[in-house]
């Protein structure tokens, strides 16, 4: 489903659910165990649950992402941003042509550091986790590679849980373990699956949001000038990027629980639905003839990137905080920042789930 109206309708319809037990082909054994997207289907977390289970799982995590708690993280986010920009400037100074990969030096480590601090992940495991999480979103990997990466990540997180169980700390992993061990509100599998979901979703999409925002501003210098001069607020940039170049393409999967009509199309019960959040943001029926244009002064900058309804993204406030603190500091420090290659030369990610580029070479002027 690719239009704004169709995606919104599916998200709001109670006859469209997230639990795999509603998928007729899966229950009939027609989906092979090595299907590249199988980990998105077999997961046992809030992304794949409905009703009371979804409410229970979401409530356990939601306290970490309230607007008040997220705002208290602002100081640490700013400190991480400043440190990363120092490192990027130093790397540019060491480079013969002054070119650095902004994705590798800033866009990736910022959300990884923030989410890792939130969950108490040790510094030494973060690069490994980044590699493993990437396989969840990369459709170029083979089924065997995807399963191997998934199992390695499962072991890594099981080790994290064991360490935090032995020595609890003031982090979200310890809080989830307490819910599992003391209140018995989580099964062991639900605990690990929740970590898989929040850690991977907590930084992968934010990383691509950052790179997409930088690319958009570099390619639209007049609009960059408008925010630099204070004529437009930085959050308007973030929201327009979320609409125009959403880091989320499609999120597997939702299922029809009965025969129904969606967007004028008859859909039988037990069918999977793949919702296009990225395409919904470019829908001319919703945004008019300029839907394909990047415009931070657009009157309607609403979007579905963070989903809608009961499965609205818990980390939306945190993602916005990271990007809205980074962009003004990045361009304030390097106002002449420019792309080192043409946009058409950038390599897009081989993924239907996220939208981004493999590298972002820039010159920090």
Per-residue model confidence (pLDDT) at position 139: 66
The domain limits of the chain are: 4-363
Confidence of residue 357 (pLDDT cuts 50, 70, 90): very high
Specify the pLDDT at position 285. Answer: 96
What digits encode the pLDDT tens for the residues 94-150? 998 999 999 999 999 999 999 988 889 888 888 888 888 777 777 677 777 877 888
Say yes or no to pLDDT of 79 above 80: yes
pLDDT tier for residue 258 given thresholds of 50, 70 and 90: very high
Please say if the pLDDT value at position 255 is more than 90: yes
pLDDT at residue 271, as a whole number = 97
pLDDT for the residue numbered 203: 84
The confidence score (pLDDT) of residue 80 equals 96
pLDDT, tens digit, for every residue of 33-74? Answer: 888 788 788 888 888 899 998 998 888 888 778 888 889 899
pLDDT at position 228:
97
325 vs 140, more confident: 325
pLDDT on residue 128: 86
Tell me, what DSSP letter sits at residue 130? Answer: H
The pLDDT value given to residue 172: 85
Query: In this predicted structure, what is the pLDDT of residue 324?
Result: 98
pLDDT tens per residue, range 212-248 = 999 999 999 999 999 999 999 999 999 999 999 999 9
pLDDT mean over 348-357 = 91
Q: What is the pLDDT of residues 269-311, one digit of tens each?
A: 999 999 999 999 999 999 999 999 999 999 998 999 999 888 9
pLDDT, the chain, mean: 91
At 183, is the pLDDT very low, low, confident or very high (cuts 50, 70, 90)? low
Which of the residue ranges 50-59, 175-184, 319-328 would you say has the lowest mean pLDDT? Answer: 175-184
Of residues 327 and 182, the one with the higher pLDDT is 327
**CATH code at 4-363:** 1.10.630.10
pLDDT of residue 211: 97
CA neighbor of 215 nearest in space, from 343, 58, 87: 343
**Number of alpha carbons in the 13 Å side-chain half-sphere of residue 120:** 19
**Three-state secondary structure call for residue 2:** coil
Write down the pLDDT at residue 184.
59
């Amino acid at each position: 489903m690719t239009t704004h109206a169709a995606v919104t309708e599916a998200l709001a319809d109670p006859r469209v659910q997230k639990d795999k037990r509603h998928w007729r082909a899966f229950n009939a054994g027609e989906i092979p165990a090595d299907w590249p997207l199988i980990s998105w289907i077999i997961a046992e977390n809030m992304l794949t649950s409905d009703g009371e289970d979804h409410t229970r799982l979401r409530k356990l995590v939601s306290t970490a992402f309230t607007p008040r708690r997220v705002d208290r993280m602002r100081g640490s986010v700013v400190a991480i941003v400043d440190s990363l920009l120092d490192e990027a400037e130093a790397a540019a100074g060491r480079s013969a042509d002054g070119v650095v990969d902004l994705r590798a030096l800033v866009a990736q480590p910022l959300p990884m550091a923030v989410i890792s601090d939130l969950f108490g992940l040790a510094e030494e495991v973060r690069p490994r986790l980044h590699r493993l999480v990437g396989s969840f979103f990369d459709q170029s990997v083979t089924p065997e590679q995807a399963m191997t990466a998934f199992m390695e990540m499962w072991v890594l997180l099981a080790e994290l849980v064991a360490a935090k169980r032995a020595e609890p700390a003031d982090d979200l992993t310890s809080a989830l373990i307490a819910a599992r061990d003391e209140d018995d509100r989580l099964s062991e599998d639900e605990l690990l699956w929740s970590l898989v979901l929040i850690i991977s979703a907590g930084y992968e999409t934010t990383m691509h949001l950052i790179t997409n925002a930088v690319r958009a501003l570099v390619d639209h210098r007049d609009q960059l000038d408008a925010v630099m001069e204070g004529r437009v607020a930085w959050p308007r940039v973030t929201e327009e990027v979320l609409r125009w170049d959403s880091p989320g393409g499609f999120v597997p999967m939702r299922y029809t629980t009965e025969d129904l009509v969606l967007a004028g199309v008859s859909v039988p019960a037990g069918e999977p639905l793949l919702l296009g959040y990225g395409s919904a943001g470019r829908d001319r029926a919703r945004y008019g003839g300029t839907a394909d244009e990047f415009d931070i002064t657009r009157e309607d900058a609403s979007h579905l990137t963070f989903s809608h309804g009961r499965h609205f993204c818990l980390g939306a406030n945190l993602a916005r905080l990271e990007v809205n603190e980074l962009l003004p500091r990045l361009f304030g420090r390097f106002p002449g920042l420019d792309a080192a290659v043409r946009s058409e030369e950038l390599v897009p990610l081989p993924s239907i789930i996220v939208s981004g580029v493999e590298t972002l070479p820039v010159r920090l002027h």
